[in-house]
Amino acid sequence: MSSIGKDLRKILGDKQVLDLPEDVSAYANDATFYIAKKNPDAVAVPKTTKDVSEIMKYAFKNKIPVVPRGAGSGLAGGCTPVHGGIVLDMKKKDRILEIDHKNMSATVECGVVLNNFNRELARQGLFYPPDPQSMSVCTLGGNIATRAGGPRGVKYGTTERYVTGLEMVMPDGTVMTPGGKVMKMSSGYDITHLMTGSEGTLGVITSAHLRLLPMPAAKRTIVVTCTTVDQAAEIVSEIIAAGAVPAMLEFLIKLAISVLNKYISPPLPLLGEAYLLMELDGSASQVEDETRDIKRICTGMGAVDVRVVTDDAESATYWWARSRLYPGMLQIFKRVITEDITVPRNSIPEFVRRVQAIAASTGAFIGLAGHAGDGNMHPTILHTEISEEMSKKAEKAIEEIIRAGLDLKGTISGEHGIGIHKNKFTELEHGADQIELMKKIKAAFDPHNIMNPGKIWIEEAR
């Protein structure tokens, strides 16, 4: 039993603290291959905001690192502890506090699982658009902390657009409530959205006010088979340029479709090298008009096949299978490193060509998929074995992919966050002056640097 564990038991009681080696080791990584060099000393499982506040008062007084954690489904090492300390497992704060139809808003605790929230909203004819692919397990607090996205970002935007207010606990235990339920606010600094995307480095998000939408009246799925990867990328650019706005517009290569076919009924014929998977939504007439326009564009550009799926159950299998792509790849390959680069949408064809060239020059096996409708591409390094040689190839490929994205005026992360995985590249995107400004902001919130240290940028020696 660790000394930190003993102290936490005095605050929370025995049942809300874990500190046996076999328990804390389960919190040493997220969904990536990053493993903590030092396991957390203890895991605290708060059930109330008061619990979180008391833990933070203790950690602040004793200068103990604290790492907030949702479901641990992140892909950037964001909730991997770097210096031991306390991991805050927030999954027990999982109540939907209010669904307010008249205000089209909801108030939820940070541990609410996104899919559970969506199911409750659907029963009431409501809709929360952000849809990270880990939605079956990820928590809303984790989504907010990383500004998570997903396929619907092309039409509806990502998580930060739907967060209107927060309850948060500062590093010293102070509870604050920036923002609120109002849809507009122009009063003071925007602390709500500074916290949104802060990856647990400024404080602990305990609950949130979220904006909701009415459920769309009609939906339609379209599957486009393309002769080449280049052709698929060009079609995406043409659809966007024509002003069509699908709710979702996904780019997938043949390898990805072969994985998806394990879940799709009926499976897709492997007739092309790349595929586009789209969902249109809105009024029935709007969906019909957009279906006709997109089918005309794809046919005119020489697509092998344009399939309009009219059966709702069949459509659902495509989107469920798309959410299973990452775990499906893990069943085939020894290691899967999913990159997360967003480029201007008209730069997608050039980005695709550069990724293909990087694969050829480095010898890395790179799969390619992405939320192409908003320019968020996911080149994926696939390891057929775990070896030093493959790791070196992957490291070189990742750096070249990131530099290619930045060269095309993109960003190093569209939805996964920075965490450990990309902290050495943050200055490459933002420059030294912006990094210094970020450090000053962090110091104002967290003077002892106890909140998730080692993330977003390379930290100085402690």
How does residue 421 score in pLDDT terms, banded at 50, 70 and 90?
very high
Query: What does the pLDDT read at residue 402?
Result: 97
Query: What does the pLDDT read at residue 309?
Result: 94
Q: What is the per-residue pLDDT across 159-208, written as a single tens digit (0 to 9) for each?
A: 999 999 999 999 999 999 999 999 999 999 999 999 999 999 999 999 99
Q: Is the pLDDT of residue 1 over 70?
A: no
For 378-403, what is the mean pLDDT?
95
Helix axes 3-12, 49-62, angle to 10 degrees: 150
Query: What does the pLDDT read at residue 461?
Result: 52
Distance CA 278, CA 224 (A): 8
Distance CA 359, CA 382 (A): 11
Q: What share of the chain is helix, strand, coil (3-state, %, to 5)?
A: 40, 20, 40
Query: What does the pLDDT read at residue 32?
Result: 86
Q: What is the per-residue pLDDT across 354-368, written as a single tens digit (0 to 9) for each?
A: 999 999 999 999 999
Query: What does the pLDDT read at residue 38?
Result: 83
For 429-446, what is the mean pLDDT?
97
Q: Give the architecture-level CATH label for domain 333-407.
A: 2-Layer Sandwich (3.30)
The CA-based dihedral angle spanning residues 94, 99, 104, 110, taken in that order and rounded to the nearest 10 degrees: -10
Predicted TM-score (pTM) of the model is: 0.94
Domain ranges of the chain: 96-214, 218-326, 333-407
**E-assigned strands of 357-436?**
366-371, 376-383
Return the H-helix or E-strand segment holding 169. Answer: strand 163-169
How does residue 265 score in pLDDT terms, banded at 50, 70 and 90?
confident
Tell me the helices (H) and strands (E) count for the chain, helix number first: 15, 19
Q: Is the pLDDT of residue 460 over 80?
A: no
For 61-88, what is the mean pLDDT?
96
Who contacts 189 (Cβ-Cβ below 8 Å, separation ≥6)? none
Q: Do domains 218-326 and 333-407 have the same CATH topology?
A: yes
Q: What is the per-residue pLDDT across 208-242, written as a single tens digit (0 to 9) for each?
A: 999 999 999 999 999 999 999 999 999 999 999 99
User: What mean pLDDT is reported for the chain?
Assistant: 95
Peptide bond between residue 266 and the one before it cis (omega within 30 degrees of 0) = yes
The CA-based dihedral angle spanning residues 207, 212, 218, 222, taken in that order and rounded to the nearest 10 degrees: -50
Q: Is the pLDDT of residue 34 over 80?
A: no
End-to-end Cα separation, the chain, in angstroms? 25
For 400-418, what is the mean pLDDT?
97
Q: What is the per-residue pLDDT across 287-317, written as a single tens digit (0 to 9) for each?
A: 999 999 999 999 999 999 999 998 999 999 9
Per DSSP, 177 falls in state -
Phi, psi of 51 (to 5 degrees): -55, -50
Who contacts 433 (Cβ-Cβ below 8 Å, separation ≥6)? none
For 421-441, what is the mean pLDDT?
96
Amino acid 86 reads I
Please state, in angstroms and as integers, the Cα–Cα distance from residue 232 to each residue in 225, 290, 299, 304, 397, following that order: 8, 18, 12, 11, 23
Whether domain 96-214 has CATH 3.30.465.10: the reply is: yes
The CA-based dihedral angle spanning residues 308, 311, 316, 317, taken in that order and rounded to the nearest 10 degrees: -80
Please state, in angstroms and as integers, the Cα–Cα distance from residue 109 to each residue in 90, 97, 388, following that order: 9, 7, 43
What is the dotted CATH code of the domain comprising 218-326? 3.30.70.2190
For 130-150, what is the mean pLDDT?
95
Q: What is the per-residue pLDDT across 150-171, written as a single tens digit (0 to 9) for each?
A: 999 999 999 999 999 999 999 9
Distance CA 453, CA 431 (A): 20
For 44-72, what is the mean pLDDT?
98
Distance CA 180, CA 202 (A): 19
